[in-house]
């Protein structure tokens, strides 16, 4: 099962993706985490990505598409994956569809987490204090939210045009409650209902 977890920055995608992937028994593939690992390693990709990420902008589509293509070929992703932070633009979504089609695969479901901008601002301020991520400054976050609305939100409309299954879930509430909502939406028959 290939699931795209979709939501604005600060919506709790990462936290939920980690939990949901283990229930689905598929790898959690988070482009933000992969890029931060490249930055930490000081690789060529990391050096290119670092200033772009710090400013809240997106790294070029072709770069991230190549990273994902390699990752989806790993043996652990043969049966599925939970994608977190990708695709983030319509061209990325089109590239993902094309690469999956070549392999006889497809996105099975897009799970959209809904959180209002006001709640996002509140959460990100808290995360900035607790984690100190380089792109959690007020200016970088405002830019990430702007980019989300202009470039990432249209990805959901793209999936509507391709008739991909979209499940919408309210992302506000306590972490366990949101996990339950997502699990129920993805596995309505109750499979994996216990943690
Ligand atoms: P969040 O979901 O909190 O915004 P992520 O950890 O997913 O943050 O991503 C952090 C940064 O990494 C993004 O702001 C962007 O610069 C870069 N990035 C992650 N995924 C992508 C992607 N699919 N395309 C382009 N840039 C990306």
Residue 68 lies in a domain: no
CATH number of the CATH domain containing 153 = 3.40.50.300
Q: Which domain holds residue 171?
A: 2-29+80-194
On whether residue 134 sits in a domain, the answer given is yes
Residue 175 placed within a domain:
yes
96 assigned to some structural domain = yes
Q: How far is the CA of 195 from the centre of ligand 1 (A)?
A: 28
Pick from 55-64, 69-78, 182-191: least confident: 182-191
Weakest mean pLDDT among 24-28, 82-86, 118-122, 125-129: 125-129
Q: What is the pLDDT of residue 194?
A: 42
Is residue 69, in this structure, part of any structural domain at all? no
Q: Nearest CA to 121 among 145, 152, 86?
A: 145
Residue nearest atom 6 of ligand 1, based on CA coordinates: 32
Write out the chain in H/E/C secondary structure: CEEEEECCCCCCHHHHHHHHHHHHCCCEEEHHHHHHHHHHHCCHHHHHHHHHHHHCCCCCHHHHHHHHHHHHCCHHHCCCEEEECCCCCHHHHHHHHHHHHHCCCCCCEEEEEECCHHHHHHHHHHHHHHHCCCCCCHHHHHHHHHHHHHHHHHHHHHHHHCCCEEEEEECCCCHHHHHHHHHHHHCCCCCCCCC
The predicted model scores a pTM of 0.91
Give domain status of residue 46, yes or no.
no
91 within ligand 1 shell (Cβ under 6 A)? no
101-142 pLDDT, tens per residue?
999 999 999 999 999 988 988 888 887 778 777 777 888 888
- Please count the structural domains in the chain: 1
Query: Does ligand 1 come within 6 angstroms of the Cβ of 32?
Result: yes
Q: For 88, list phi and psi in degrees, rounded to 5.
A: -115, -5
The answer to whether position 35 is within a domain reads no
Query: What was the pLDDT predicted at 191?
Result: 53
Pairing of strands 2-6, 109-114: parallel
**Does a structural domain hold residue 44?**
no
Residues 181/169, Cβ–Cβ less than 8 Å: yes
Cα 97 to averaged position of ligand 1 atoms, centre (Å): 19
Mean predicted lDDT score pLDDT of the chain? 92
């Amino acid at each position: 099962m290939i699931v795209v977890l979709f939501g604005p920055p600060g919506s709790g995608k990462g936290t939920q993706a980690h939990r949901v992937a283990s229930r689905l028994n598929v790898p959690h593939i988070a482009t933000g985490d992969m890029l931060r690992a490249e930055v930490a390693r000081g690789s060529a990709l990391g050096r290119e990505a670092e200033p772009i990420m710090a400013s809240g902008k997106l790294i070029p589509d072709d770069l991230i598409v190549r990273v994902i293509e390699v990752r989806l070929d790993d043996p652990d992703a043969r049966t599925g994956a939970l994608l977190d932070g990708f695709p983030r633009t319509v061209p990325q979504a089109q590239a993902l569809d094309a690469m999956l089609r070549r392999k006889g695969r497809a996105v099975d479901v897009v799970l959209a987490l809904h959180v209002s901008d006001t709640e996002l601002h509140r959460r990100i301020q808290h995360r900035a204090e607790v984690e100190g991520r380089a792109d959690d400054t007020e200016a970088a976050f405002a830019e990430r939210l702007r980019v989300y609305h202009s470039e990432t939100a249209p990805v959901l409309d793209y999936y509507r045009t391709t008739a991909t299954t979209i499940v919408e879930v309210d992302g506000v509430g306590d972490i366990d409650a949101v996990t339950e909502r997502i699990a129920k939406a993805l596995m309505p028959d109750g499979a994996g209902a216990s943690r």
